[in-house]
Chain A
Amino acid sequence: MNKPADMPEDEEGATVAGRIEGGIDAIVIGDGVDGLAAATYLGKAGLHTILVGAGKEPGGRIAVREIAPGVEGVDGEHLVGLLDPEVIAELDLYRHGLEYAARRLDTTYFFDAYDALRFDGDLSQAANIALDDDEERDALEAFMAELLELSAFLRPAFRPAVYASGDTQKMLGKTLAGASSETASLIRRYLIASAGDVLSARFADGPLKTLLYSEVAFRSASAPNESLSFMPFLRRLSGEAAGLQGAVAYPAGGAIAVVTALRRAAQGAKVDVRASAPVKSILIEGDRVAGVMLEDGGQLRAPIVVAATDASSAFLKMIGPANIDIELQRVLTTQRPEIATARLHFVLKGVAQDETTRANMKRRLFYAPPVEDVTAAFLDARAGRVPEKLIVEAVFPGALDDKLLLDRRQLMSVMAHPVPFDATPDDARREAIKNAALASIEMFATGLSERVETVDLRLPGDEAAAVGANAGAYAAKPDILRQWAIAAATAASGGINGFYFCGPEAQIGSGMSCSAARSAARAALRAYRKGHV
């Protein structure tokens, strides 16, 4: 430890302007799930770790908020599908209170032109889908089997690599290099191909092609008719929930349960979590990190700093261009986000009476607009217009988790995609997005609009403002090559010794994952043990 000898040991608690606090092994910036996970890893390993977060409560963009009087909703995510199982195991998240109210969520797909279709939460059960056409069902079964296998094979490629350490890199290289030529040619094809091309080659026009087209496009910035747009789907299928690959689950209490479990785990690991402590800059001395300077003027000094904030805040604001290679800065600044996912909550009057609806409410509901409309939606969103029809994913927390049941009302949690990315959307834009989402929901839940009491909309700008981040980080993820490139560039941490990055840009795919945090924390620990920091 390189704690200056003449620095007084600080007491627990907030720093004071001009006060320098030492005796710290590691500082984690950012109190989202990645920050919490990284800090827990470090704390568990015995490092004196301080987590500094900008918000009042840890959780970052995952936060509980009052949607309407007496109705609470969870901002950010609603389902779990990418959460790294190794993080769950290593940090004992089940013991720290994480449990699923609904695992292996079935999905009901709704269409304009076809009857609704139900998918088993276990995607390998594709054969059980009630389809009139046997050929289509066989094609689906073969396709899903192929995708599940391939995405499992590619899992190392979807983990953020810590290039500085070289280990992950070697492992990844070994895995891929060992691919048979058939696998390699499939990977190559799925990497470049557009979702439209891949699906057209496998399916005739019909409900299966329609729903897969929307599934692939959901939450992605890559238009499904353009190349590089298929791979994000493999990323999604490489995840698992409650031990089942490609499945999604609803945590008891909602997505916030992940935050709560991580907080408890952090507590157990003796992480010193400090809320409302925004970081002004990261201190660099020579080529190594020295600590952080807080907005209030206090300094925390430590040989390890892990940033779990967005990359432009971490690299361009906290470290600053005068300390960052021109090439890294360029990677972080070239791409302009264009597409976003809208997060909505609808408070509905009354309760559903009929049996079908009640059964569906226990599932993941997914509206897949016609292929042409999805393509058009991406064109519109990219051009800055709110599309007429949006892909919608909806769940009813109250139906999935008894504890969340409301009295004579219902909360519907929705993600609608794609909408134009706008860091500071005006009211007209908000209104248009709400209307488009509602219109899309009307396509499968006729008359629902009349029951709507409150519509609550969160866009990337809102999420970013809540945690003082750059809104672009919460836009839809760009094409897979760009995601890889940015993840690789940011994970290299600008080459600064002792500095590690695990913000949203280090992650491949959308949703809570914590893989980046795990990679960063492990790299930090390795360096710490070898005495490199």
Chain B
Amino acid sequence: MSGQYDFLVIGDDEASLCAAAAAARAGASTAHLRINQRKKQSGAATTPAIPNFVWRRLELQDYDLTLEPASARVTLFKDGDPVITYAKPRETSAALEETGIDDHFVWSDFIEETNGLAANGYLASTLFNAGKDSGKGIAKMLTDPVALERTARLFGPSADLLNDYFTDERLKAHVSAHALGLAGASDREAGSAAALSEFFDEDSWRARTPKDATNLMTVLEIACQDAGVKSYAGKITEIANDGAKQIGVSIGAEDKIRTSYIFFATPEAAAAAGALQGDGRPGLNNTAHASITVRFKLSNRIEPPAGDDKAIFQIIDDLEDVRDARDAAVRGKLHERAPVEFEYTPNGEIVARTAYFPAAFFEDGAWRGWTGQDRQAAAAIIKNRIASRLPDFASQIRRAETEVMTPNTRESFFEGCDRVIVQWRRHNAISAAVKLIDEVMARSE
């Protein structure tokens, strides 16, 4: 098969499908490519929320789709009470006040500031997306002290921002664990503040499809079809970038297509395809981390220790876990006390994941890839972490499925290709990917 497209969206997640459908609906000829043929099950029970404008754009009201927002974000510490925050700042600050956390006074201001930082859209696009006037963009940033200060804060370590606001160590640990967990980042690392601000974007609050409702991926696939997105599957075998307006992409043995842009809706999709090779994306060292998901099927339901089964849970002993685990990953080591996030699926399973494991292991002065033993060791760490918080957990496990996603550092078809666009936000990937599609379309007109 061959074809000519404006966009080739590569990725197996919700954000990629949304981006493809949105591009097609906006009139761009669009193809979608699945590389991994992953199971039609999302890696987690929840996904980033679908903001209203995307809902309208894809006319999702015409599909049988229900989404319910996660109830809360809960951190289960080793000792002491859990910290719980909610979608609404006011609800959170009331809850914090109740648990005796003094910082509740500044919670709303904190959300306000992180939102304000994220709203500096032009800064982000100045720094991350090529454009005709990007020299002017950089000049503008450097010559405006206020903009510069915001940019520095946005791309600095999140710890600076958190320490500036809060005194309560548990609250800081809670925020760091939830905001940085998806990237496996440390609060001391440059760029982690951007992850933090993105986490508090109102489009970042996660949602799930309730039990017996149609799976979101399934709905989005149909939405893509209806929008006229051409679907491909297979491995990329060659990319021909001959300097023309379009690049040639060969998929598997048969398909050869030409496209104006290759679009990745999430950094994970880009990492999986090897498009982050040697590319400096903000802060978070995307190629240093593997992301592991373990799906536990249980014989009996286990009650969550706090919140309810619609909450998203993080397990850490304290903030040091976040730093140490990330440092260990950078050094190519597994860390026993890695932060683990888990959720209940609508049918009572527990899905746990962490991005705090290394992309590759450094042993005896050399790097090596994941082995079966490593997978087992990683799964065991995750299991033990959950067992330390859910008393009967270990005895109730019927089956555990482990999936390891490592960034692709072998193939680098994309090197030097300026028509590859990567959307780098994780928490609000759906919203950001559709906005970026619009931006690219507006720019290329």
User: Direct contact between A and B in the complex (CB less than 8 angstroms)?
Assistant: yes
Interface positions of A (Cβ within 8 A of B): 157, 161, 163, 169-170, 172-181, 183-185, 187-189, 191-194, 196-198, 200-201, 222-223, 225-230, 327, 330-331, 333-336, 338, 370, 372, 375-376, 379, 382-383, 478-479, 481-482, 484-486, 488-489, 492
Complex formed: what's the CA distance from A157 to B284 in Å? 25
CB closest chain-B residue, reference A492: B145
By a CB distance below 8 angstroms, the chain A residues around B143 are 161, 169-170, 172-173
Complex formed: what's the CA distance from A443 to B9 in Å? 50
- Give the residue among A175, A226, A330 with the most B Cβ atoms within 10 A: A226
By a CB distance below 8 angstroms, the chain A residues around B138 are 176, 179, 184, 187-188, 191
Contact of A485 among B130, B140, B148, B365 (CB under 8 A): B148
By a CB distance below 8 angstroms, the chain B residues around A227 are 155, 190-191, 280-285
Complex formed: what's the CA distance from A200 to B288 in Å? 13
Q: Contact check, A185 vs B160: say whether CB atoms are below 8 A apart.
A: no
The distance from the CB of A486 to the nearest CB of chain B, in whole angstroms, is: 8
The distance from the CB of A360 to the nearest CB of chain B, in whole angstroms, is: 26
Q: Contact check, A372 vs B139: say whether CB atoms are below 8 A apart.
A: no
Complex formed: what's the CA distance from A486 to B163 in Å? 18
The distance from the CB of B330 to the nearest CB of chain A, in whole angstroms, is: 6
Q: Contact check, A376 vs B135: say whether CB atoms are below 8 A apart.
A: no
Q: Contact check, A481 vs B136: say whether CB atoms are below 8 A apart.
A: no
Q: Contact check, B191 vs A226: say whether CB atoms are below 8 A apart.
A: yes
Q: Is B152 an interface residue (CB 8 A)?
A: yes
Closest 5 CB pairs of A and B: A193-B280, A201-B278, A179-B135, A176-B139, A485-B152
Known: A188-B138, A334-B160. A484 touches B331 (CB 8 A): no
Contact of A173 among B126, B140, B148, B163 (CB under 8 A): B140
By a CB distance below 8 angstroms, the chain A residues around B188 are 338, 382
Known: A180-B135, A181-B135, A376-B331. A192 touches B282 (CB 8 A): yes
By a CB distance below 8 angstroms, the chain A residues around B155 are 192, 227-228, 479, 481
Complex formed: what's the CA distance from A230 to B280 in Å? 10
| B 131-186 contacts with A by CB, 8 A | 132, 134-140, 142-143, 145, 148-149, 151-153, 155-156, 160-161, 163-164
Complex formed: what's the CA distance from A370 to B367 in Å? 13
Q: Contact check, B327 vs A383: say whether CB atoms are below 8 A apart.
A: yes
CB closest chain-A residue, reference B154: A481
Q: Contact check, B139 vs A225: say whether CB atoms are below 8 A apart.
A: no
Interface positions of B (Cβ within 8 A of A): 126-128, 130, 132, 134-140, 142-143, 145, 148-149, 151-153, 155-156, 160-161, 163-164, 188-191, 277-285, 288, 323-324, 327, 330-332, 362, 365, 415, 418
Complex formed: what's the CA distance from A145 to B160 in Å? 37
CB closest chain-B residue, reference A228: B190
Secondary structure of the B contact surface, majority rule: helix
Q: Contact check, A181 vs B331: say whether CB atoms are below 8 A apart.
A: no
Q: Contact check, B151 vs A485: say whether CB atoms are below 8 A apart.
A: yes
By a CB distance below 8 angstroms, the chain A residues around B283 are 226-228
Q: Contact check, A177 vs B330: say whether CB atoms are below 8 A apart.
A: no
The distance from the CB of B301 to the nearest CB of chain A, in whole angstroms, is: 40
By a CB distance below 8 angstroms, the chain B residues around A333 are 164
By a CB distance below 8 angstroms, the chain B residues around A478 are 156
By a CB distance below 8 angstroms, the chain B residues around A338 are 188
By a CB distance below 8 angstroms, the chain A residues around B163 are 334, 336
Complex formed: what's the CA distance from A338 to B160 in Å? 12
Contact of B149 among A229, A370, A488 (CB under 8 A): A488
Contact of B130 among A174, A188, A331, A334 (CB under 8 A): A188
Q: Contact check, A372 vs B145: say whether CB atoms are below 8 A apart.
A: no
Complex formed: what's the CA distance from A243 to B145 in Å? 32
A-B contact pairs, 23 of them (CB 8 A): A173-B140, A173-B142, A181-B132, A183-B135, A188-B126, A188-B134, A189-B280, A192-B282, A194-B285, A197-B279, A225-B285, A334-B164, A335-B156, A336-B163, A372-B362, A481-B151, A484-B148, A485-B148, A485-B149, A488-B145, A488-B148, A488-B149, A489-B149
By a CB distance below 8 angstroms, the chain A residues around B330 are 225, 375, 379
Known: A225-B288, A479-B156. A172 touches B142 (CB 8 A): yes
Q: Contact check, B280 vs A192: say whether CB atoms are below 8 A apart.
A: yes
The distance from the CB of B422 to the nearest CB of chain A, in whole angstroms, is: 12
With A227-B285, A376-B331, A479-B152 given, can you name 9 additional A-B contacts, CB distance below 8 Å?
A174-B139, A177-B139, A184-B134, A197-B280, A200-B277, A223-B190, A230-B280, A338-B188, A481-B156
CB closest chain-B residue, reference A226: B190
By a CB distance below 8 angstroms, the chain B residues around A192 are 127-128, 155, 280-282
Known: A185-B130, A481-B155, A485-B152. A335 touches B160 (CB 8 A): yes
CB closest chain-B residue, reference A338: B188
By a CB distance below 8 angstroms, the chain B residues around A379 are 327, 330-331
The distance from the CB of B413 to the nearest CB of chain A, in whole angstroms, is: 14
The distance from the CB of B408 to the nearest CB of chain A, in whole angstroms, is: 14
CB closest chain-A residue, reference B163: A336
By a CB distance below 8 angstroms, the chain B residues around A179 are 135, 138
Q: Contact check, B156 vs A178: say whether CB atoms are below 8 A apart.
A: no
The distance from the CB of A517 to the nearest CB of chain B, in whole angstroms, is: 20
Contact of B152 among A178, A223, A484 (CB under 8 A): A484
Q: Contact check, A228 vs B142: say whether CB atoms are below 8 A apart.
A: no
By a CB distance below 8 angstroms, the chain A residues around B156 are 335, 478-479, 481-482
By a CB distance below 8 angstroms, the chain B residues around A157 are 142
CB closest chain-B residue, reference A185: B130
Complex formed: what's the CA distance from A327 to B135 in Å? 28
Q: Contact check, A479 vs B130: say whether CB atoms are below 8 A apart.
A: no
By a CB distance below 8 angstroms, the chain A residues around B139 are 172-177
By a CB distance below 8 angstroms, the chain A residues around B281 are 192, 227
Q: Contact check, A185 vs B285: say whether CB atoms are below 8 A apart.
A: no
CB closest chain-B residue, reference A488: B145
Complex formed: what's the CA distance from A481 to B282 in Å? 13
Q: Contact check, A178 vs B331: say whether CB atoms are below 8 A apart.
A: no
By a CB distance below 8 angstroms, the chain B residues around A187 are 135, 138
Q: Contact check, B149 vs A177: say whether CB atoms are below 8 A apart.
A: no
The distance from the CB of A282 to the nearest CB of chain B, in whole angstroms, is: 21
Q: Contact check, B130 vs A481: say whether CB atoms are below 8 A apart.
A: no
Complex formed: what's the CA distance from A161 to B281 in Å? 28
Contact of A184 among B135, B151, B327 (CB under 8 A): B135
Q: Contact check, B190 vs A330: say whether CB atoms are below 8 A apart.
A: no
By a CB distance below 8 angstroms, the chain A residues around B327 are 379, 383
Complex formed: what's the CA distance from A83 to B161 in Å? 34
By a CB distance below 8 angstroms, the chain B residues around A486 are 152
Q: Contact check, A176 vs B280: say whether CB atoms are below 8 A apart.
A: no
Q: Contact check, A201 vs B132: say whether CB atoms are below 8 A apart.
A: no
Complex formed: what's the CA distance from A327 to B323 in Å? 29
- Give the residue among A172, A184, A479, A492 with the most B Cβ atoms within 10 A: A184
By a CB distance below 8 angstroms, the chain B residues around A169 are 143
Complex formed: what's the CA distance from A191 to B331 in Å? 24
By a CB distance below 8 angstroms, the chain B residues around A484 are 142, 148, 152
Complex formed: what's the CA distance from A201 to B135 in Å? 23
Q: Contact check, A229 vs B135: say whether CB atoms are below 8 A apart.
A: no
Q: Contact check, B134 vs A485: say whether CB atoms are below 8 A apart.
A: no
Q: Contact check, B280 vs A178: say whether CB atoms are below 8 A apart.
A: no
Known: A227-B155, A228-B190, A481-B148. A177 touches B280 (CB 8 A): no
Q: Contact check, B132 vs A375: say whether CB atoms are below 8 A apart.
A: no
By a CB distance below 8 angstroms, the chain B residues around A178 are 135
Known: A226-B190, A479-B155, A484-B142. A375 touches B331 (CB 8 A): yes
Complex formed: what's the CA distance from A56 to B136 in Å? 48
Complex formed: what's the CA distance from A190 to B84 in Å? 40
The distance from the CB of A509 to the nearest CB of chain B, in whole angstroms, is: 15
The distance from the CB of A251 to the nearest CB of chain B, in whole angstroms, is: 32
The distance from the CB of A161 to the nearest CB of chain B, in whole angstroms, is: 7
Complex formed: what's the CA distance from A413 to B285 in Å? 35
- Give the residue among B139, B163, B415 with the most A Cβ atoms within 10 A: B139
The distance from the CB of A329 to the nearest CB of chain B, in whole angstroms, is: 11
- Give the residue among B130, B189, B280, B330 with the most A Cβ atoms within 10 A: B280
By a CB distance below 8 angstroms, the chain A residues around B278 are 197-198, 200-201
Complex formed: what's the CA distance from A184 to B126 in Å? 10
Q: Contact check, B164 vs A226: say whether CB atoms are below 8 A apart.
A: no
